[in-house]
């Protein structure tokens, strides 16, 4: 069980200062102070995903002698730093990362965590951005990520976060999440919950969350109850959600999270390109040179969604151009419609961003919202798509790009 500081009811002296700590004793934040940690809020309800950062298989070019081919989706550290700065300048200051993102580049100092940490240190912003990191609950996550010892029990959770903080160059992260639920972890979900609680108690993270947790794998409610044994609230659940895949709504996961007061992040909010309206049955390449990213049989059922995205973009642009009070008078791309659709559902989208152009497009989602009619049109289009697809959702990943 987690313990309060011995001999201290409040953890704060009469002067209002924290008591002195024995250097040989692990630092522990009194529970009375933890209860006063500010409410977790993501600026403008949009975050930045860093899944592709440092990952050569997703287009990352770490060799300074090699120039990225932007038309083929390639990018380098300078592109990422430009995206990072643009997001901060726009007030979009939450970055979601994980120890496994770009982990093959750890030896070169270019994993997602290492790049993000470097950008934070080099930034001229007045305040550091909010950062979310994740714990991978597997026995052998790889020597570069987790060292040579196998992962098991609650202590491994704390040690992993300390490694992540070293790569990030930070004293703490704002959110530390279980990357995915598993029944094979040594110690079980109880040990994972206690590990997250200990990480928070030691001041290594401000809040804890989960990812990809639903009723079929592990109940959000059950895990929340496990954390409650240590007086730790479950703040967030990160799931896949887009106009191409709303399984998390259909199986009741999102509704359960809202009932429990748990914030829902939406990863893959553009459906791997399927929910952008860029790659369509009539234009499978999305205007890019080379082979199509998706085959016709995958894109054809999504025709109602793509048509609705285009129609809503036109409607929103017309509506805002006539609204003199609107801070933004000119919208919109279909990607922006797709992202703001997720915001309209009360979720926080985490679009992956690898260059300044993409960052500017996401920043263009601010200052306006979809109205009820527009959201309803997109809801109807999703149902038509599901009917055309026989009740399924398109799950095919795009083929790898030629280089």
Confidence check: pLDDT of 257 > 50? yes
Q: Is residue 253 part of a domain?
A: no
Domains of the chain: total:
1
pLDDT for residue 298: 85
* 120-132 residues labelled b (16+ CB within 10 A) or e (exposed): beeeeeeeebbbb
CATH of the domain at 118: 3.20.20.100
Copy the structure tokens of residue 215: 């009723």
pLDDT for position 330: 62
- In a domain? residue 110: yes
Do 189 and 181 touch, CB atoms closer than 8 A? yes
pLDDT band at 17 (very low <50, low <70, confident <90, very high): very low
Closest CA to 396 of 265, 320, 295: 295
Continuous H helices in 202-321: 220-228, 247-250, 253-259, 296-299, 303-321
Exposure string over 194-232, b if 16+ CB within 10 A, otherwise e: bbbbbbbbbebbbbbbbbbbbeeebbbeebbebbeebeb
More confidently predicted of 123 and 13: 123
Write down the pLDDT at residue 136.
Answer: 96
User: What pLDDT shows up at residue 321?
Assistant: 84
Flag whether 301 is in a domain.
no
The pLDDT assigned to 215 comes to 58
How many other C-beta atoms can be found within 10 angstroms of the C-beta atom of residue 188?
A: 13
pLDDT digits (tens, 9 = 90+) for 344-380: 999 999 999 999 999 999 999 998 999 999 999 999 9
Evaluate whether residue 201 is within a structural domain: yes
Is 195's pLDDT higher than 60?
Answer: yes
Q: Which domain holds residue 232?
A: 31-240
Is 302 a domain residue? no
Task: Name the band, by pLDDT with cuts 50, 70 and 90, for residue 13.
Answer: very low
pLDDT value for 201 = 96
**pLDDT tens-digit series, residues 160-190:** 999 999 999 999 999 999 999 888 899 999 9
Q: What is the pLDDT of residue 142?
A: 86
- What is the percent of the chain with per-residue pLDDT over 90, rounded to a whole number? 69
- For residue 294, what pLDDT band results from cuts at 50, 70 and 90? confident
290 occurs within a structural domain: no
In a domain, 173, yes or no: yes
**4 within domain boundaries:** no
User: What average pLDDT score do residues 57-69 get?
Assistant: 94
């Amino acid at each position: 069980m987690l313990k309060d500081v011995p001999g201290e009811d409040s953890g704060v002296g009469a002067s209002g200062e924290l008591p002195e700590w024995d250097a040989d004793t692990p630092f522990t934040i009194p529970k009375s102070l933890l209860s006063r940690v500010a409410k977790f809020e993501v600026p403008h309800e949009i975050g930045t995903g860093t899944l592709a950062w440092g990952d050569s298989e997703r287009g990352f070019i770490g060799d300074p002698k090699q120039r990225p081919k932007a038309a083929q989706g390639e990018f380098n550290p300078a592109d990422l730093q430009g995206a990072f700065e643009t997001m901060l300048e726009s007030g979009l200051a939450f970055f979601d990362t994980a120890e496994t993102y770009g982990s093959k580049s750890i030896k070169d100092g270019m994993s997602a965590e290492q790049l993000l940490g470097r950008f934070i240190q080099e930034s001229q912003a007045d305040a550091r951005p909010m950062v979310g990191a994740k714990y991978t609950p597997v026995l052998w996550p790889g020597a570069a990520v987790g060292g040579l010892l196998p992962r098991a029990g609650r202590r491994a959770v704390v040690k992993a976060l300390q490694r992540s903080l070293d790569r990030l160059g930070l004293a703490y992260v704002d959110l530390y999440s279980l990357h995915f639920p598993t029944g094979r972890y040594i110690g079980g979900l109880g040990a994972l919950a206690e590990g997250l609680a200990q990480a928070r108690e030691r001041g290594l993270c401000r809040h804890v969350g989960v990812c990809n947790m639903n009723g079929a794998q592990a109940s959000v409610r059950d895990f929340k109850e496990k954390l409650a044994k240590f007086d730790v609230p479950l703040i967030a659940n990160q799931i896949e959600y887009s106009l191409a895949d709303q399984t998390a709504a259909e199986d009741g996961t999102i509704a359960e999270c809202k009932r429990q007061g748990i914030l829902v992040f939406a990863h893959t909010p553009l459906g791997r390109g399927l929910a952008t309206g860029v790659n369509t049955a009539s234009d499978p390449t999305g205007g890019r040179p080379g082979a199509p990213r998706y085959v016709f049989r995958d894109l054809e059922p999504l025709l109602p969604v793509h048509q609705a995205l285009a129609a809503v973009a036109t409607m929103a642009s017309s509506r805002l151009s006539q609204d003199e009070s609107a801070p933004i008078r000119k919208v919109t791309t279909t990607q922006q419609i797709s992202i703001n659709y997720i915001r309209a559902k009360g979720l926080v989208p985490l679009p992956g961003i690898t260059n300044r152009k993409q960052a500017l497009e996401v920043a263009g989602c601010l200052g306006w919202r979809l109205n009820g009619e527009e959201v309803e049109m997109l809801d109807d289009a999703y149902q038509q798509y599901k009917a055309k697809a026989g009740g399924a959702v398109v799950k095919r990943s795009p083929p790898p790009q030629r280089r």
